[in-house]
Structure 1
Amino acid sequence: MTDPIRLSKRLIELVGCSRREAELFIEGGWVTVDGVVIDEPQFKVDTQTVALDPEAKATAPEPVTILLNVPAGMDADTAMATLSAETLSEEHRYGKRPLRGHFVRLTASTDLQANASGLLVFTQDWKILRKLTADSSKIEQEYVVEVEGNMVDHGLNRLNHGLTYKGKELPAVKASWQNENRLRFAMKNPQPGIIALLCQAVGLTVIGIRRIRIGGVSIGKVPVGQWRYLSGKEKF
């Protein structure tokens, strides 16, 4: 019997690669142990069968962007801690395979309105992070807002053209009724609390707020508390 050794060391023995190449193969999800993908170089093996995918590339995994349908009132740090292979949306468990490296070095961007649920973005890609921060004033966000109360006369028109409430000028937004209890708001770079203030200005009380879109990216049919990857075809 031999003592268990690191998976990276066993891979070096098998294929004659360098230590760095072994780590990249493993972290990229190219290595299996008894047929199961293991992406941790420090994983200990002894007599198991270790195999390297013939198509393996010794390159760092591409940075990922994760779209989480966050529950109402959950802060970004708590939300980030929920990200794992287990919370990936069932409908989106195809294509890209979740790797341990996908859940580190993530940065949250585009804060939600207070107590809102819906689309929250986490990314490893500096280009996307720069887009969402530097261009935030140009990127439209869309919210569905559940309300109660009676809207004042011409309230929808006032929302769409801008209004003054308690001495404060409120921005014009794209507002429309989704149904008798829900409004849709589309606006660029909404300031904290602005949606609740807009609703108050036209006689409505907010019951719930959910962000469904940032730019050209929608959360889609991802259940609350679950996530999916941003696809290469989607653009904020």
Structure 2
Amino acid sequence: MSLERLQKVIAQSGVTSRRKAEKLIEAGKVTVNGQVVKELGTKVGPDDDIEVEGVPLEKEQPVYYMLYKPRGVISSVKDDKNRKVVTDFFPDVKERIYPIGRLDYDTSGLLLLTNDGEFANLLMHPKYEIEKIYVAKVKGIPRREELNKLRKGISSDGEKLKATFTKVLSTDDKKKTAIVQINLQEGRNRQVRRMLEAIGYPVDKLKREQYGFLTLEGLNAGEFRELTPHEVKQLRAEAQKIVK
């Protein structure tokens, strides 16, 4: 029988992150077979009954999905204003999945969802974020030297924001608009929009086209597919390379 650390089992169930699970254990809010457990090193097996804040832990198999998020959808599992959320696209998925990171309401593109808290935490680790490729339609036609400023890093609301790659993909001289590619290894709030606005080019449309090696190929807006075991393994290995 394989035993795993209690906080890891809680995180993998999708209830919360490993860090928050550790705090709940230390606060005496987790029981194993009816007994309160406060030791972080505690190991549990598949037959143990675990409760977190009085709620039994459901033993779900980990699942991993990629969604082509349309514009006008919230990257959440619920919304207090009753707007459409990303989990609405998964009516037949029984597991309690949630998005890894987020895409803004007005941004479309590639979003990962899972019920594996450990996996989600790894991909969002502050020491390393897998490179993501965004394509933006902007008002105005930025010059190369202006985009270069984004690679050097700019300040916005007290944060230093930096791109790893920038390029003008196409321009429309009549409409005075451009299509720009920006690669990021960070995941700050509304980062691409803030960066382009800071150099004077407001974003009209924004799409995340790539997440690491994953692309939207074969998907239309609102469609999803399950990640293959190899893709999950590859993403995990990519993140662990830096996080160690």
Q: Give 1:113's aligned amino acid.
A: D
User: Residue 176 in 1 paired to residue 154 in 2?
Assistant: no
> What does 1:140-151 correspond to in 2, within 5 Å?
140-151=131-142
Alignment partner, residue 212 of structure 2: 215
1:80 and 1:156, CA in 2 relative to 1: closer, same or farther beyond 3 A?
same
Q: In 2, Cα distance between the equivalents of 1:166 and 1:129?
A: 27
1:109 and 1:204, CA in 2 relative to 1: closer, same or farther beyond 3 A?
same
- Contact 1:143 1:209 (8 Å CA) reproduced: yes
Partner SS state of residue 230, structure 2: coil
Q: Is there any run of 5+ residues in structure 2 with no aligned partner, and where?
A: 1-58, 78-84, 172-177, 236-244
Match among 140, 152, 167 for residue 161 of structure 1: 152
Q: Give 2:89's aligned amino acid.
A: T
> What does 1:1-236 correspond to in 2, within 5 Å?
62-75=61-74, 76-77=76-77, 78-84=85-91, 100=92, 102-134=93-125, 137-151=128-142, 154-164=145-155, 169-180=160-171, 181-234=178-231, 235-236=234-235
Q: In 2, Cα distance between the equivalents of 1:136 and 1:169?
A: 15
1:61 and 1:194, CA in 2 relative to 1: closer, same or farther beyond 3 A?
closer
Q: Is there any run of 5+ residues in structure 1 with no aligned partner, and where?
A: 1-59, 85-99
1:221 and 1:174, CA in 2 relative to 1: closer, same or farther beyond 3 A?
same
Deviation at 1:66, TM superposition (A): 1.1
1:66 and 1:136, CA in 2 relative to 1: closer, same or farther beyond 3 A?
farther
Kindly name which structure, 1 or 2, has the bigger radius of gyration based on alpha carbons.
1
Q: In 1, Cα distance between the equivalents of 2:200 and 2:230?
A: 41
TM-score by length of 2: 0.57
- Contact 1:114 1:192 (8 Å CA) reproduced: no
Partner SS state of residue 121, structure 2: helix
Q: In 1, Cα distance between the equivalents of 2:213 and 2:114?
A: 16
Q: Deviations over 1:139-179 (max 9, x none)?
A: 21211111121325721222222235688643243111222
RMSD in angstroms over aligned alpha carbons? 2.6
1:119 and 1:136, CA in 2 relative to 1: closer, same or farther beyond 3 A?
farther
Q: Give 1:211's aligned amino acid.
A: R
Alignment partner, residue 242 of structure 2: none
Q: Give 1:79's aligned amino acid.
A: V
Alignment partner, residue 28 of structure 1: none
1:164 and 1:152, CA in 2 relative to 1: closer, same or farther beyond 3 A?
farther
